[in-house]
Structure 1
Amino acid sequence: MNLKLFLRHREVQSSLLSLLGQLIIMILSSLVIISRAVTGLRAVLIFIIILGFAYIFAVTILRLKDLAKATDSPKK
């Protein structure tokens, strides 16, 4: 696969930026749970947020995988 061609796609660039943002949000949410005395309800809400972003993260990875396959296949 041609990595330069793959990284030039606008969809790939936006997906990579999305992954970065999702990782930042998940890390910050995890740090809030770990560092502070959080009430039970807040901990549950933050955990649900982390799970939601983990799901979106996985879907974005699968989308990048599909884009890599499309970039690798020869044009007809």
Structure 2
Amino acid sequence: MESAVLQQAVGILMDWYGVPPEAAIEQLEQWATDCGAASWEVAEGLVHGICLGRPTACREEVLRHLEQLLRQFPATAQLPD
């Protein structure tokens, strides 16, 4: 499941924000580091908690931090030149 939810989260960043796949993966990893969470937890929060509005295994504080980060995204994203 972890791999599937990571792929879904990458797809969301690519589709909604026009982020290339490599940059989407790096962004998820950076957000995970910022939140003190695993990449799969951030991906789970993005896919199930934010996009689908469903209960998720993502901790509440990680989900709230992710919501704040998404409000600033892609302005803070480090996209390739």
Q: TM-score w.r.t. structure 1 length?
A: 0.33
Could you say which structure has the higher helix fraction?
1
**Bigger RCO of structures 1 and 2 (CA < 8 A, at least 6 apart):** 1
Look at both structures and tell me which one has the larger radius of gyration over its CA atoms: 1
